[in-house]
Amino acid sequence: MDKFRTLFLHFQSSSESVMNGVCLLLAMVTVKLYSSFDFNCPCLAHYNALYGLGLLFTPPIALFLCGLLANRQSVVMVEEWRRPAGHRRKDPGIVRYMCSSVLQRALAAPVIWILLALLDGKCFVCAFSSSVDPEKFLDFTNMTPSQVQLFLAKVPCKEDELVRNSPARKAVSRYLRCLSQAIGWSLTLLLILLAFLARCLRPCFDQTVFLQRRYWSNYVDLEQKLFDETCCEHARDFAHRCVLHFFASMQSEMQARGLRRDSAGRGPEAPERPEPPDGLDGGSGKAHLRAVSSQEQVDRLLSAWYSSKPPLDLTASSGLWGCGLTHRAPTVVPGTRESPHTDV
């Protein structure tokens, strides 16, 4: 159980591992979909190519879009590309690195579908049966051009009466299937060769830029995650304090009304004063969250985060972000040292 928990925490904290798992899952789903798919060519001269090429390229496009939607870094990449520069300069190299990483994972499932379709050959035979040169086969010498086109359109449908048990149909189908498999295996060999060269030649070049791009792309992703988590934490703490403040106000009002009602019979009694709103959370020590305590401050902080993110220099960030966010100085928990930069 501890090993499973450790593995789960690793996948939860590592976006790269999660995306690799999603990529593998999409690849497995692609293989399952293609194996359970029932292919039926229309065997019509004007629709064979449209149907065959449509099944060869339309599912890969859908799988590619699903890969982009499932990859969280695609949204982070677009946000990093479109954000205003503000106090932090934008590095196009980080966007390019994230784009290449997103495309590599999103293209895995579509490439698998295309390779499976080419190695199987059904889509290729359906799409290009009407485009075969009849002069390459001797069985079409006694047919008119219209009969040849009709016969070639019926090649994918081996149960059709026109082409059933016909040696010409078997020859054309075998020719197209072999051509499709040759293209499929050639693409497979090319992809494996490119991956091999990329893996073997990458250590031969300077890794400084690559390490920098990888570090800052991970930083952008983790920064956005931490900001979202901190916003949720602040929203929960702010709502908690607002609710407690409301009940404290209602309690003092009810005590005041009870005092006026009972004062005619028993005389005045000292009302119990409610605790101040700042002490309602029991001193949880969340000074960095309690510093932003109004709707205007929250809106200003979120606008500042989007329009001009803080510079990546903790020694200089206090001068830019240490003022203007609160009406009062933030509370510092005893025994702790104030951070040089303002937390969100």
Tokens of 332: 């510092």
- What does the alpha-carbon distance between residue 325 and residue 312 come to, in Å, rounded to a whole number? 19
The residue to which tokens 């075998």 are assigned: 174
Tokens of 80: 């990093």
Q: How confident is the model at residue 333 (pLDDT cuts 50, 70, 90)?
A: very low
- What does the alpha-carbon distance between residue 72 and residue 77 come to, in Å, rounded to a whole number? 9
336, pLDDT greater than 50: no
77, pLDDT greater than 70: yes
Q: State the pLDDT at residue 335.
A: 42
Which comes out higher in pLDDT, residue 284 or 66? 66
Using an 8 Å Cβ cutoff, are 58 and 127 in contact? no
Using an 8 Å Cβ cutoff, are 32 and 22 in contact? no
Query: What's the Cα-to-Cα distance from 137 to each of 142, 177, 178, rounded to whole Å?
Result: 11, 16, 15
* 331 membership: H or E segment, kind and range: none
Burial class of residue 76 in the structure, from the number of CB atoms within 10 Å of its CB (0-12 exposed, 13-18 middle, 19+ buried): buried
pTM of the predicted protein model:
0.72
Four-CA torsion 313, 315, 321, 327, nearest 10 degrees: 160
Which comes out higher in pLDDT, residue 272 or 192? 192
Q: State the pLDDT at residue 286.
A: 67
Contacts of 84 (CB under 8 A, 6+ apart): 306, 307, 308
271, pLDDT greater than 50: no
